[in-house]
Homo-oligomer: A and B are copies of this chain.
Amino acid sequence: MTEPLHPNHERVLVPHDGLEVPVTRVHLTDGRTFDRYTTAGPERDEAGGLPALRAPWLAARAERADGLVTQLELARADVVTEEMRYAAAREGCDPELVRSEVAAGRAIIPANVHHSELEPMVIGRAFLVKINANIGTSAVTSDTAGEVEKLDWAVRWGADTVMDLSTGPGIHETREAVLRASPVPIGTVPIYQALEKVNGRAEDLSWEVYLETVLEQCAQGVDYMTVHAGVLLRHVPLTVERVTGIVSRGGSIMAGWCLAHHEENFLYSHFDELCEVLAAHDVSFSLGDGLRPGSLADAGDAAQLAELRTLGELTRRARERGVQVMVEGPGHVPLDRVPEQVHLAHDWCDGAPFYTLGPLATDVAPGYDHITSAIGAATIAQHGTAMLCYVTPKEHLGLPDRDDVRTGVVTYKLAAHVADVAKGHPGARAWDDELSRARFEFRWHDQFALSLDPPLAQAYHDATLPAEAAKTAHFCSMCGPKFCSMRISQDVREAFREKSEEFLALGATVYVEDEAGDPAPSGARLS
């Protein structure tokens, strides 16, 4: 349906343990191939729908699973589900690792039983770092077809999950279209739709309106929901002296409700009922950080940490009821304080997967906040954050367009990969090495094909050296042929290899003797 990102890319289904798991296979110009994790999804049918990959698994399980519904319940019962095997095959790991991490609550597989089109994936610190992109209509923009296009676009560049943050009219229809078209988990923030139902008046919200909304979304197949149940009445005064108050939409709505009614947050007081609903459909919680810091000044303050303590309590309550849980995090955090954010979250929330928005490591660069946040994101993921919510260049300023979404997704893919490499994740570095070898050997087309954004890499090369001959030339535009360090370096290598015996002899005289203390020809000495 959609063109691959590069002519030498191919979507291949790899047989694995009775399943067929997709990869992006990169065909290299020397005849080898390199397989990469893919999110892009299969071809659609003529009506725009996806194959119902999970339908037979779900049907079979309904007959034999003894009432166990959620991946957490099944994992605890030592059942290795098809979803676990599928996710493990994508990760290149043992399905038992997926099962045990899910059972321990350190990983989740967001997979609503009504989202049969899903290609399952796993979110947890033992696995590849994932990224989320946001889409959604607003009161004045976008339509259903437009949202499906946005979904395709984000997933094409590598979004592992997509949150539909629609507001305004037609939310139900838009979400239905998005879910039926999505091979990746879809998240929502149900309070947005609930607020529409009460005409935008936060004080008119109620548990009943909210529950109705959640039931509707569960039945459609939403895979995870952000719930701001940790914003308690007693936390609100802690935000009054902040530099940037409450910057989470859901958090501010619930704080406003609490104050208007002088009652405890109904999401908190009805949390156990909410757990029963989510468990019945295997919808995962994404426990929202409604009091996340919106500036460096507010990072790690009393309001944020009080809410995080509450999220720990809610994590335990949800897990007792069989619901999978991840926990959301900031926001804006000075770089030196980034590691403590994830360590506290893991510590207080019993190791639940942490899912952060950035964090931005400075406030002074609006227009560049995909970068200020990628700095924080790479570091927080290096320290164990499981999923990163992307930030686009328009953050704080305006609505992202297609280019902004692409920039945001690719920036977060690179930040996630930086963390995978820094964590020593098995196999992560092989991709860097493959691209670097292509670079050193002047295999330009391979360098483009192996890159995160092949069309952009090629376009930048074409901007200076558009001729096809330049794609095999043993130099590039930066230094030109005379100054090309890599060409000279290859000559050096050739010289060594052709004269290996001579150089071995040299090594025995010039190099080794020198190390032993004799002066080198010029008087050189290693200190």
CB distance from A426 to the nearest CB of B (A): 14
A44 at the interface (CB under 8 A from B): no
CB distance from A9 to the nearest CB of B (A): 14
CB-CB < 8 A to A448: which residues of B? 366
Q: Tell me if A245 and B139 are in contact (CB < 8 A).
A: no
Q: Tell me if B495 and A259 are in contact (CB < 8 A).
A: yes
From B240, B422, B497, A496 is in contact (CB under 8 Å) with B240
Q: Identify the closest chain B residue to A460 (Cβ).
A: B397
The interface centre, meaning the residue of A262, A312, A399, A489 with most chain B CB atoms within 10 A of its CB, is A489
From B233, B306, B309, A520 is in contact (CB under 8 Å) with B233
CB-CB < 8 A to A439: which residues of B? 244, 294-295, 363, 396
CB-CB < 8 A to A367: which residues of B? 451-453, 456-457, 459-460
CB-CB < 8 A to A493: which residues of B? 239-240, 245
Q: Tell me if A496 and B237 are in contact (CB < 8 A).
A: yes
Using A398-B478, A451-B364, A451-B366 as known contacts, say yes or no to A264 and B414 having CB atoms under 8 A apart: no
Q: Tell me if A364 and B264 are in contact (CB < 8 A).
A: no
- Copies of this chain, complex-wide, total 2
A467 at the interface (CB under 8 A from B): no
Q: Which of A15-23, A115-123, A430-438 contacts B (4 or more CB under 8 A)?
A: A430-438
Q: Tell me if A239 and B310 are in contact (CB < 8 A).
A: no
CB-CB < 8 A to A497: which residues of B? 240
Q: Tell me if B236 and A492 are in contact (CB < 8 A).
A: yes
Q: Which of A90-98, A211-219, A370-378 contacts B (4 or more CB under 8 A)?
A: A370-378
Q: Tell me if A335 and B382 are in contact (CB < 8 A).
A: yes
CB-CB < 8 A to A153: which residues of B? none
Q: Tell me if B489 and A246 are in contact (CB < 8 A).
A: yes
Q: Tell me if B234 and A310 are in contact (CB < 8 A).
A: no
A521 at the interface (CB under 8 A from B): yes
Task: Tell me the A residues contacting B by CB distance below 8 Å.
Answer: 138-140, 167, 192, 195, 200, 202, 232-234, 236-237, 239-240, 243-249, 251-253, 255-256, 259, 262-266, 268-269, 294-297, 306, 309-310, 312-313, 332, 334-336, 361-368, 370-372, 374-375, 378-379, 382, 393-394, 396-399, 401, 410-411, 413-415, 417-419, 421-424, 429, 431-433, 435-437, 439-440, 447-448, 450-453, 456-457, 459-461, 463-465, 476-480, 482-486, 488-493, 495-497, 503, 506-507, 510-511, 514-515, 520-527
Q: List 11 A-B contacts (CB under 8 A).
A: A167-B480, A234-B511, A234-B514, A244-B437, A246-B492, A364-B435, A365-B451, A368-B411, A396-B447, A398-B461, A399-B464
